[in-house]
């Protein structure tokens, strides 16, 4: 699959690079669609009965299941392939994006010039911001250098690379602008809180703005703000949005403690942010959401379901694989948290909390043929309203 460039900031691959990417994509689809169901069969037919024979009971949690599964050849090969495709994805895309970074930086500088008459949004970077340790301690999900590392002055490599690799990772099922999460969660928010007419909306952990821009479309009267700790992603996000004609206020800030005034926002959203923060970070961000929301405002966060909402412990092991083998150390413990308790502690009233609600995928409604490879036919969301 060779993709057409969806916007002028896209680091479009050449023929050979696209062919390499196609190979990685096919391998990813093969592991996910063809091999992963075999793990379930292995568990049901071999691992669980063996465990029951040894212990006189079924495994009770993901840890017991993981240790038992780890003994099996098929599971080891599956894990090796899954990890290898992840690394191959970054290896192949990284090299190709690196070759285009100089050109992209020039284009981004053009979008940032005050003389650019099409310029609509703003970009505010803070070189003194301390990047949280949960971002610097590992190369998160094997992305070399993570989101924040800067290879040169005014660098945007991490952002340009993310735009390409997310498309591959989503196996094409997030649409050409990788914006299905944002479109689907924004639609959910607009339907669930139909009475809410936000003046200002904030996205926390926006990366390159894939999910941010749909809020501009759905809430044309609102001012849209997006923050992230990673400067290279924000530079790319700003240029990408400008190239697509969207006005967003991007700033480099830690969602745990921002510089916005109390009650500044009517809607706060995030998309796959929390599994990449620490448990302390999660608590702080929920507290900050409460401070930043105006009375009557709402927060909506998309994350994979909590373990308490998934009755079969086998299902917990699938995502938890990333905790142990994909450099996402907080995946497992995030999904153990009692989110309702944490939201209440952050100040949200008990009667206004929601969890395990679903935002159906807008892209899959438009393009059902992608259903076969989609990782997320509906996005689980949690959140609350401030009264
Ligand atoms: C998986 S990405 C989010 C993807 C993005 N929301 C989207 O929809 O495409 C996680 C992002 O959260 C950012 N991040 C992590 N901790 C943060 C924090 N405390 N404050 C702001 N951003 C944070 C990371 O730099 C990274 O860009």
219-231: pLDDT as tens digits: 999 999 999 999 9
Between the CA of 342 and the centroid of ligand 1 the distance, in Å, is 20
Between the CA of 218 and the centroid of ligand 1 the distance, in Å, is 22
CATH code of the domain containing 170: 3.40.50.150
pLDDT at 111 over 90: no
Mutate to test the pocket of ligand 1, among 160, 229, 281 (most ligand atoms within 8 A of CB): 229
Contact 239, 163 (CB under 8 A): no
Q: Among 198, 188, 207, which Cα is nearest to 301's? A: 188
pLDDT at 370 over 90: no
Distance separating alpha carbons of residues 322 and 136, to the nearest angstrom = 17
Residue 38 lies in a domain: no
Confidence of residue 371 (pLDDT cuts 50, 70, 90): confident
Distance separating alpha carbons of residues 185 and 177, to the nearest angstrom = 15
Measured torsion, CA atoms of residues 366, 370, 375, 381, in degrees rounded to the nearest 10:
10
Confidence of residue 4 (pLDDT cuts 50, 70, 90): low
> Hey, which residues does 380 pair with through a beta bridge?
358
Residue 324 lies in a domain: yes
Q: Whose CA is nearest to atom 10 of ligand 1?
A: 273
Distance separating alpha carbons of residues 346 and 341, to the nearest angstrom = 9
Q: Among 387, 381, 382, 380, which Cα is nearest to 351's? A: 387
Give, for 242, the enclosing helix (H) or strand (E): helix 231-244
pLDDT at 119 over 70: no
pLDDT digits (tens, 9 = 90+) for 255-301: 999 999 999 999 999 999 999 999 999 999 999 999 999 999 999 99
> Reduced to 3 states, what is the DSSP secondary structure of residue 277?
coil
Between the CA of 251 and the centroid of ligand 1 the distance, in Å, is 12
**242, two tokens:** 């400008």
Region 79-95: mean pLDDT is 97
pLDDT digits (tens, 9 = 90+) for 23-38: 999 999 999 999 999 9
pLDDT digits (tens, 9 = 90+) for 163-201: 999 989 888 889 999 999 999 999 999 999 999 999 999
DSSP 254: B
Contact 223, 254 (CB under 8 A): no
Between the CA of 191 and the centroid of ligand 1 the distance, in Å, is 25
CB atoms within 10 A of CB 54: 9
Give, in degrees to the nearest 5, the angle at Cα 349 between 345 and 355. 80
Residue 51 lies in a domain: no
pTM of the model: 0.96
**308, two tokens:** 């308490």
Confidence of residue 118 (pLDDT cuts 50, 70, 90): low
* Cβ-based neighbours of 347, under 8 Å, separated by 6 or more: 287, 290, 386
pLDDT at 373 over 90: no
Contact 79, 85 (CB under 8 A): no
Tell me the C-alpha to C-alpha distance, in Å, between residue 351 and each of 199, 249, 297, 356: 24, 33, 14, 15
Region 352-358: mean pLDDT is 97
Residues with CB under 6 Å of ligand 1 are 132, 135, 147, 181, 204-207, 210-211, 227-230, 233, 254-256, 271-273, 276-277, 281
Mutate to test the pocket of ligand 1, among 165, 175, 205 (most ligand atoms within 8 A of CB): 205
Q: Whose CA is nearest to atom 12 of ligand 1?
A: 205
Between the CA of 206 and the centroid of ligand 1 the distance, in Å, is 5
Query: How much of the chain is helix, strand and coil, in % rounded to 5?
Result: 50, 15, 35
Percent of the chain with pLDDT over 90: 91
> Reduced to 3 states, what is the DSSP secondary structure of residue 335?
helix
Residue 294 lies in a domain: yes
pLDDT at 1 over 60: no
Maximum Cα interatomic distance, the chain, rounded to a whole number of Å = 74
Residue 299 lies in a domain: yes
Q: What does 132-146 look like in DSSP terms, one character per residue?
A: PHHHHSS-GGG-TTT
pLDDT at 110 over 80: yes
- Ligand 1 atom closest to Cα of residue 148: 25
Least reliable range by pLDDT among 3-7, 251-255, 358-362, 381-385: 3-7
Distance separating alpha carbons of residues 249 and 241, to the nearest angstrom = 10
Task: Please count the structural domains in the chain.
Answer: 1
Q: Among 366, 380, 363, 384, which Cα is nearest to 171's? A: 363
Confidence of residue 2 (pLDDT cuts 50, 70, 90): very low
User: Could you list the residue range(s) of the whole structural domain that residue 227 is in?
Assistant: 163-385
Q: How high does pLDDT run on average in the chain? A: 95
pLDDT at 116 over 70: no
Q: Whose CA is nearest to atom 13 of ligand 1?
A: 205
Residue 362 lies in a domain: yes
Distance separating alpha carbons of residues 203 and 381, to the nearest angstrom = 14
Percent of the chain with pLDDT over 70: 97
Q: Would you state the pLDDT for residue 376?
A: 82
> Reduced to 3 states, what is the DSSP secondary structure of residue 104?
helix
């Amino acid at each position: 699959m060779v993709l057409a460039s969806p916007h002028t900031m896209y680091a479009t691959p050449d023929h050979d690079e696209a062919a390499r990417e196609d190979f990685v994509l096919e391998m990813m689809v093969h592991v996910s669609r063809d091999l992963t169901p075999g793990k379930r069969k292995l568990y049901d037919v071999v691992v669980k009965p063996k465990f029951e024979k040894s212990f006189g009971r079924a495994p009770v949690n993901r840890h017991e299941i993981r240790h038992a599964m780890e003994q099996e050849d098929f599971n080891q090969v599956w894990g090796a392939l899954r990890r290898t495709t992840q690394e191959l994805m970054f290896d192949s895309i990284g090299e190709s994006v690196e070759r285009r970074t100089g050109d992209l930086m020039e284009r981004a500088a053009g979008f940032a010039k005050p003389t650019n008459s099409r310029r609509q949004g703003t970009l505010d970077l803070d070189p003194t911001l301390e990047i949280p340790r949960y971002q610097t301690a590992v190369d998160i999900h094997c992305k070399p250098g993570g989101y924040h590392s800067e290879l040169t002055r005014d660098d945007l490599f991490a952002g340009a690379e993310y735009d390409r690799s997310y498309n591959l990772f989503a196996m094409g099922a997030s649409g050409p602008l990788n914006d299905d999460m944002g479109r689907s969660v924004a639609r959910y928010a607009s339907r669930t809180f139909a009475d809410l007419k936000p003046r200002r909306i904030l996205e926390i952990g926006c990366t390159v703005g894939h999910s941010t821009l749909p809020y501009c479309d759905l809430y044309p009267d609102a001012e849209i703000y997006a923050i992230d700790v990673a400067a290279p992603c924000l530079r790319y996000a700003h240029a990408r949005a400008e190239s697509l004609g969207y006005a967003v206020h991007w700033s480099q800030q830690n969602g745990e403690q921002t510089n916005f005034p109390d009650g500044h926002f009517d809607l706060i959203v995030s998309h796959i942010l929390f599994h990449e923060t620490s448990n302390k970070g999660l608590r702080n961000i929920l507290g900050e959401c409460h401070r930043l929301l105006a009375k009557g405002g709402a927060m909506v966060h998309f994350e994979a379901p909590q373990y308490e909402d998934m009755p079969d412990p086998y299902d917990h092991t699938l995502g938890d694989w990333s905790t142990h083998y994909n450099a996402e150390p907080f995946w497992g413990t995030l999904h153990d948290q009692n989110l309702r308790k944490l939201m209440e502690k952050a100040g949200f009233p008990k009667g206004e909390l929601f969890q395990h609600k679903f935002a159906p995928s807008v892209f899959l409604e438009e393009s059902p043929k992608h259903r076969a490879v989609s990782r997320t036919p509906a996005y689980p969301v949690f959140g609350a309203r401030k009264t």
